[in-house]
Amino acid sequence: MKRRIKKIRGTRTCGGGSHKKRRGKGSKGGSGNAGAYEHHFVRSLKQGIRKGKRGRPYIAIRRDELVLNVGELEERLDELLKTGKAEARDDAFILDTTQLGISKILGKGEVTKKLIVKAKAISSIAKGKIEQAGGSVEVVS
- For all residues of the chain together, what is the average pLDDT? 84
First to last CA, the chain: 65
Q: By the 8 A CB rule, do 74 and 113 touch?
A: yes
66-139 CATH pick, 3.30.200.20, 3.100.10.10, 1.10.10.10, 3.90.1300.10: 3.100.10.10
Better-scored residue on pLDDT, 49 or 84: 84
Could you give the 3-state DSSP secondary structure of residue 67?
strand
Residue 128 has pLDDT above 90, yes or no: yes
Within the chain, all domains assigned CATH 3.100.10.10 are found at 66-139
Better-scored residue on pLDDT, 110 or 37: 110
CA–CA dist 105, 123 (Å, integer)? 6
Q: Do β-strands 86-89 and 66-69 pair in parallel, antiparallel, or remain unpaired?
A: unpaired
Query: Nearest to residue 66, comparing CAs of 98, 103, 95?
Result: 103
If one counts every other C-beta atom within 10 angstroms of the C-beta of residue 89, the result is: 9
Q: Flag whether the pTM goes above 0.85.
A: no
In this prediction, residues 104-131 reach a mean pLDDT of 91
Better-scored residue on pLDDT, 54 or 73: 73
Report pLDDT digits (tens) over 91-115. Answer: 899 988 888 888 889 999 999 989 9
Cβ partners under 8 Å of residue 102, min gap 6 = 66, 67, 68, 119, 120
